Structure 1
Amino acid sequence: MDYMTDMARMCAEARAGAAALQAAGEEGRTRALKAMAQAIRAASADILAANAREVEAARQKGADKAFADRLTLDEERLNAVADGVATIAEQDDPVGVEKRRWTRPNGLEIAEVSIPLGVIGVIFESRPNVAADAAALCVRAGNGVILRGGSEAAGTTQEIVKAVRTGLAEAGLPEGTVQTPPDAGRGWVTALLALDEGGADLVIPRGGKPLIAHVREHAKVPVLSHLDGICHVYVDARADARKAIDIVLDSKMRRTGVCNAAETLLIDRACASDLLPRLARALEEKGCELRGDEAARSIVPSMNAASEEDWDTEYLDAILSVRVVDGADAAMDHIARHGSGHTEVIVTEDETTAQRMISGIDAAVIMHNASSAFSDGGEFGYGGEIGIATGRLHARGPVGAAQLTTNKYVVHGEGQIRG
């Protein structure tokens, strides 16, 4: 199989689809998204059947609980996927937005306007819902998209893309706007990363460290990615105890296999003797294993001992490391050394402490008195997300439709020359 030739063809079709999306305008893109949502609902039986086969195959191969959870689509989750696409259809269109306008002393009027990126390649692993989220966000932003899912969810991805393409066709737009390779062979990833001329304008990998490292090493095109989701919850001495317990439980145990789940609890020494036993009891009752430092274990002896490796581990499981710290400064120091720049949570009623930590912590998302579970494109009102970008370019935080655009400058004059 000639991966390079076939990938070049797919990118060309996606680029032609992007041009059609731009020509269709906001109304046409909205119509397409509504049709895509309807088509996903209509294809639910085929999508869920393919997913059930793949989940069972993964379990037969010994997949752990967290992996199986990321892979699984049930009726409720698939309805949420379709609802997300429909929500994106109702969002403000990010294309053609005039971000600012100014006039120079020479009379030139300059406007900064948002435009689509072009063709976006999305490489993902075990989350088949990413196919629908990415396709919808790219269509909303006027982009073509190449979707390459992992082998463990290849059938589910194919069924979702089939439904999305049906919706595009019903809206009078090219099916080729959304592409996926016919199989999950690694050659497709190699070709997508290597095709710098006539290929994708941006590649977004969504998966574990090995995938991210591979994409960064081999891509000849810009890459937008996130690393580990090593998220912390800091409970301050001035925290409301009820809020702290609820936030820690939700941040850790709502879904343990997602990147916005908390992996480390930092608790102020000034409140640890009173509050940590209550937190530990609530977590252990939910089936969470706790791994504490010496100070934490002196308060809650049932904890296992944490190793240095634990502070740098994204468990994606019902495991939480616990450290007792001497206030906000020590918490910020720990986060600076061990955080991944994803999401950090501050629980305190002291506004001065909260603002100091918000200013001092380097992360894409910082929550004050709210669960890390809200670090999510859907919860931000984006309808969905392609991922949480932890770098500094081109976007940071949840990547929705608006983050899938770039700018052009439109300059109006009256015959001015520079001379």
Structure 2
Amino acid sequence: MFSQFALHERLLKAVAELNFVEPTPVQVAAIPAALQGHDLRVTAQTGSGKTAAFVLPMLNRLMGDPKPRLSIRAVILLPTRELAQQTLKEVERFSQFTFIKSGLITGGEDFKVQAAMLRRVDILIGTPGRLIEHANAGNLLLDEVEVLVLDEADRMLDMGFAEDVQRLAEACSGPHQTLLFSATSGGSGLREMVNKVLKEPVHLQLNSVSDLNEGTRQQIITADHNYHKERLVEWLLANETYQKAIIFTNTRVQADRLYGKLVAKDVKAFVLHGEKDQKDRKLAIDRLRQGAVKVLVATDVAARGLDVDGLDLVINFDMPRSGDEYVHRIGRTGRAGGEGLAISLICHNDWNLMSSIERYLKQRFERRNIKDVKGIYQGPKNLKASGKAAGTKKKKIDPKTGKKVAKKAAAKTPVKAKRNTINKPKSDGPQLVSQDGLAPLKRRTPAAD
């Protein structure tokens, strides 16, 4: 029960109003430590309830020490507009019985309107790039920030926001608490950020990558080429049982092409990527959440952090470029203990990447064939069903030494130049040869002239 936490009664009232009953493991681990004022470094899978794990302690701190609002008191940094909008809604739901005001700063909105809003909020939620623009314009003052939250920190680094995040963290110059959340352990870049922005943090490892999305089946289907992948997508959408689906591509061009193919087949779909303006992106997400469309075709940047009820099918049209990115993609389904299905379409140039992701996750994806749309490519020829090398010829054994004998390379027989042998004239007299050296020219005779 949430009543076990030392939260303000107005926050507990909001929790009860929202029908939150049992806290998730990440909430049980993170909320008490955050309420004690510790900096936190939390690794928890997508869909585990980590938003409430930092929003509730943050709101509790702002309520417990009421001050006249003179400046921004808390900042939440996120990698994408969609995730920022989603987080704003969560903050507003949990703070509905308080006087705490929150605001959103992302790209695609009027800059002057945002600048005016900065003077009227307690909690600022935004993306690093846009916040840096306001900082450069002198609109953003963070010296009185009491709580700084870095959500999806690993993804912010992947998107190239490391310097922006570091600069914003340094701008929070007063005493403050920092809460850093990520779905993966990240690499050296994330460790460097942890060392720079956190002070004596409590590390909470709620999962390892091999434990992620236990309720999600992970499959691969081999394909011959992109056209074959498109046919597979059409078959899956027509034959799989699902409420809502998202199809990931690595490029905007492929997303638009696939979207056009699906619409031509009368599939109710929307496309979402970085070139779409803010209104179109919001419309796509709203339509999916409302059930007006069942399928969303998206790139990683646009689809990051989407939380849609009933999203139980993820298709990787293109294999993601890293294990962490794969974790975030399949994290769109199987959320909050639900079940989901993640299918990756694998061409010959995807196999090595897929295998490296299997090793990273310490898992083996289920192999699947669709007879109706079966292709020729079934994986590398030198792999058995067990995954071990096969198809190689047995090496000969020397009966005297018992050692394997390396196969000797066959001696190459020199090939004579064709021009010296073809159309060799019978006459022993001098010959005239054409410029290409392939046929003799007839001698000109006085009679021929």
Which is helix-richer, 1 or 2? 1
Considering Cα pairs closer than 8 Å and 6+ residues apart, tell me whether 1 or 2 has the greater RCO: 1
Q: Which TM-score applies when normalising by structure 1?
A: 0.29
Higher Cα Rg, which structure: 2
Q: TM-score, normalised by structure 2?
A: 0.28
